[in-house]
Amino acid sequence: MKIVVIEPLAVEEKRFLEIARAAVGQEHEIVCYDTRTTDVKELGERGKDADIIALGNLPFPREVLEQCENLKMLAVAFTGLDHVDLAYCEERGIKVQNCAGYATTAVAELTFGLMLDVYRNILPCDEAARAGGTKDGLVGFELEGKTIGVVGTGAIGARVIELAKAFHMNVLAYNRTPGKVKDVDYVALEELLEKSDIVSLHVPLTPETKGIIGEKELALMKPSAILINTARGPVADTKALADALQSGKIAGAGIDVFDAEPPLDPADPLLHTPHTVVTPHVAFATKESMIKRAIIEFDNIAAFIGERK
C-alpha cells in the first residue's frame, strides 16, 4: 500500500520513519511531505494515489477527498475529527481513525499552567519584574481549597480531575453521558457553573457541544470565577465570553483554542480581554506527545493493513 503523510507531524523525519517502519514493515511505500498547505489542488495532487493518508489537524474537506480516488483509510494524528468531512468518508467507505490518548498528559498539564497563570498573575508579574516593579496589585490566589468544575470527563478530563485532587481542590464534574470517574460528584451543568471557582472545558466539538458555554451559562458563573478552554474554541461562544470578561461578569480566562486556528486575526476579541492568558493551540503539543502520536498513528495504520490481508 502507498501511505502518504500529507503534512509534517512534528517528529524529526529519521525518527518518524523508524517508528513507521517498525509498525508497518518495509513492503509498503511511505511518502512524507515536509510542508503544510491548505490548497485543495495541491492536497489532491499529494493524495491522489494514496491508499492511506496520515494527517494532523489539517482541514480535509470533500473537495480534497474527491481527488483521492484510491483512499481507503484516513489516519488522523489528532484527537478531534471535526476538521474532516466524515459524512463523505462514510459515503465512500473510507475508514477514519484518530489518535486517542496521545495528548492526555500534555493537555491536562497546560490546563493547570493556564490556571496558575491566571490565578497567580504570572505574566503581569513577569512584566512588572522586568520593568523594575513589585508585586503590588498582583497578589493572586491558591488553587488549594477551590472548586474546579470539569466539563467533560473523558481521558483528558479524568486526568485534570486527578491533578486537581493532587492540588487539594474540590471537584465537580459534568458529562453528557453517565460519568465514569470514581469518587467525583457529577452534577448538572447549571449547578457546576454556579458553584465552581474554575470551570475547565474538555468536551469534543460536536453539534451538541458547540456553544455549550454561552451568555446564559456565563451568567451563572461567580463573578470571581475563571474559565479555562483547552478543548475546542467553538464550545464557548467567543462574543459572549469576551463580553463577560470585559464587563467583569467573570474574573478571567485561560484560552488555548479559538474559532480559527492560529495565526489569529489581531481583531479576535479574546486577544483584547482583561485577565486573560492566551496560547496558540499548543496544549496538545509537547516533545513527548508528538512521539506518542506517531507511534499510535502507525499502530493504527498497521492494524488497518492487517485487517485487509
| 275: annotated active-site residue | no
Cα distances (Å, whole numbers) of residue 78 to 59, 95, 242: 12, 15, 28
Contact between 264 and 258 under an 8 Å Cβ cutoff? The reply is: yes
- Say if CB 271 and CB 279 are below 8 A apart: no
Which amino acid appears at position 79 of this protein?
T
Instruction: Please answer whether residues 236 and 227 qualify as being in contact, where contact means their C-beta atoms are separated by less than 8 angstroms.
Output: yes
Indicate which residue of 46, 202, 281, 293 is catalytic: 281
Does residue 308 carry a catalytic annotation? Answer: no
The single residue of 261, 272, 297, 308 carrying the catalytic annotation is: 261
Active-site residue, from 232, 288, 307, 308: 232
Q: How far apart are CA 105 and CA 288, in angstroms?
A: 10
What single letter denotes the amino acid at residue 303?
A
Joined grid coordinates for residue 229: 478552554
Question: Is the distance from CB of 55 to CB of 77 less than 8 angstroms?
Answer: yes
The answer to whether 232 is a known catalytic residue is yes
Give the residue numbers marked as catalytic. 232, 261, 281
